[in-house]
Amino acid sequence: MRLQFADPSDHPHLGLLPFARNLEAWDLPHMHGVLGLHRHVVRLVELGPEGRRTSYVVKELPDNLALREYRLLRELDEERLPTAEVVAVLTEKPGGSDGLLITRHLDYSLPYRTLLSGRGLTIPYLGERMLDAMVGLLVRLHLAGFWWGDCSLSNTLFRRDAGALSAYAIDLETAERHPQLSDGQRNLDIEIAAENVAGGLLDLQAGGRLQVDIDPWEVSGAIEERYRQLWAEVTDTEEFDSDELWIVERRLERLHELGFDVGEMELVTTDDAVQRLRLQPRVVEHGYHAERLRSLTGLDTEENQARRLLNDICAFGAQLHESAGRNVPENIVAVRWLDQRFEPIIEAVPVELFSKLEPAELYHQLLEHRWFLSQECATDVSLEKALESYIADVLISAPDELLQVGEVTMELPVISSDEIDWAVSD
């Protein structure tokens, strides 16, 4: 057997897995099924000591597919595109058995079945935002030259993002990488996505697990239109007169609002009698606000969460300016905000509730909760007071979102490490 690790020092417990057996025969103390439809055997495994377990998704598939997906997932990760972190791939098992692909479970992620069945309504229902998240994911992949080939609800996970959703690609068996995608490749990917989404929604509808006001055909039909709109916004060329340079600023603001950063803009004088300029954006990255927040505080968040937290940092900075009587540098404001506001609030949440929501999303929802309380009371409510109400009225009764799992599976063996050819990937 040959086991290749992406970052072996980060995953010391993987060597304990019973790689010699087929995945269906595994039986570990903390092993679960994975929600959704899967063409291969898939299991979720929690490894490590109590209180510090790490969750992994293990998928069984032929060696060539496992190696191919391992490579593609690593490329996606290197380009900072939204996908599961690939950890290892096992091939060359005795008897020609299928290999294994191991990824880090995406904590606090929600499968579409959970989103669309309307579970956990004490926390905002976001099923209607799912389509925007999928379209955004497709656009980001296409800009980077990735053709998915099997975009579907089952192959996508979603995370809350301050009133919206962020989508992650988790199954890339059919994906291809190109220097640039043609219009035909993009159109085919969109068509496949629309058909797959319709099929997934119809499956939920047949099982009585779909919100009654969701029309599968209407949803799938809207994918192409929304994709075209977003693709045009981030790639289209604009022409304007030389005295209309404000158009550049307006375009940048729209791109930043969508979360895209721009590496450069090409301004070219046209050949007509009237001097005009042509604007061509060079979009290089999604995550404009998330990168700003990360550089200021070290917090790793989704894009809309970052935008909301940056706004709170700005408001906090205004308070510092008023109390100090002078301007305080942005980096100092961010450090003090982290130390005096964000971290104390998160630490005040009972440990047993940490599995409900990730910290950045919890903080965002707390800000929303405080706003509603202040409206009701017709006076400003402190964050500390709002947190007491939020924990009692919302968080305690909310479902856990750290892990979304199916039924526990049982059975298993152990093999010695000398049976495995260990390899470390660069």
Q: Provide CB contacts within 8 A for 125, sequence distance 6+.
A: 118
Q: Residue 80 is which amino acid?
A: R
Same fold, 2-105+403-424 and 109-234: no
CB 185 within 8 A of CB 147: yes
Q: Which residues contact 192 (CB under 8 A, 6 or more apart)?
A: 148, 149, 150, 151
Tell me which residue of 76, 69, 75, 56 sits closest to 98, measured CA to CA: 69
How many whole angstroms separate alpha carbon 191 and alpha carbon 174?
15
The Cα angle at residue 141 between residues 139 and 143, in degrees rounded to 5? 65
pTM for this predicted structure: 0.80
Domains of the chain: which residue ranges? 2-105+403-424, 109-234, 238-286, 348-401
CATH topology of domain 109-234: Transferase(Phosphotransferase); domain 1 (1.10.510)
User: Under 8 Å CB-to-CB from 425, ≥6 apart: which residues?
Assistant: 4, 5, 6, 74
Please state, in angstroms and rounded to a whole number, the distance separating the CA atoms of residues 230 and 159.
20
Token pair recorded at residue 278? 């042509």
| Beta-strand pair 2-5/421-424 | parallel
State the amino acid at position 272 in one-letter form: D
Residue closest to 127 by CA, chosen among 53, 65, 197, 59: 197
Looking at this protein, which amino acid is placed at residue 248? V
Residue 144 gets the label, from left (phi > 0), alpha (psi -120 to 50) or beta, of alpha
In whole angstroms, what is the distance from residue 332 CA to residue 328 CA?
A: 7
Could you give the CA distance from residue 262 to residue 285 in angstroms, rounded to a whole number? 7
Report the candidate in 135, 136, 147 with the shortest Cα–Cα distance to residue 223: 135
| pLDDT value of residue 118 | 56
Rounded to whole angstroms, how far apart are CA atoms 319 and 191?
51
Q: What is the C-alpha to C-alpha distance for residues 156 and 200, in angstroms, rounded to an integer?
A: 12
Find, among 91, 93, 73, the residue nearest to 83 by Cα: 73
What's the DSSP call for residue 394? I
2-105+403-424 topology per CATH: Phosphorylase Kinase; domain 1 (3.30.200)
> Is the distance from CB of 259 to CB of 289 less than 8 angstroms?
yes
Q: Hey, which residues does 265 pair with through a beta bridge?
A: 281
Sign of CA dihedral 399, 402, 406, 410: negative
What are the angstrom distances between the C-alpha of 289 and each of 276, 292, 306, 422?
32, 5, 6, 40
Distance CA 8, CA 413 (A): 23
Question: How far is the C-alpha of 290 from the C-alpha of 329, rounded, in Å?
Answer: 19
**pLDDT digit of tens for each residue in the chain (426 aa)?**
888 888 777 888 887 788 888 888 888 888 887 766 677 888 888 888 877 888 899 999 999 999 999 999 999 988 889 998 999 999 998 888 899 999 999 889 888 877 776 544 455 556 668 888 999 999 999 999 999 999 988 889 999 898 888 999 988 888 999 999 999 999 999 999 999 998 888 888 888 777 777 788 888 888 888 899 899 888 887 777 767 777 777 887 888 788 777 666 666 666 665 556 676 777 666 788 898 999 999 999 999 999 999 999 998 898 888 887 778 888 999 999 999 999 999 999 999 998 899 999 999 999 999 999 998 888 888 999 999 999 999 999 888 888 766 543 333 333 444 444 545 565
- Which of these, 323, 40, 268, lies nearest to 173 by C-alpha position? 40
Which H or E element spans position 279?
strand 276-286
pLDDT reported for residue 52? 81
Task: Please give the pLDDT value at position 126.
Answer: 66
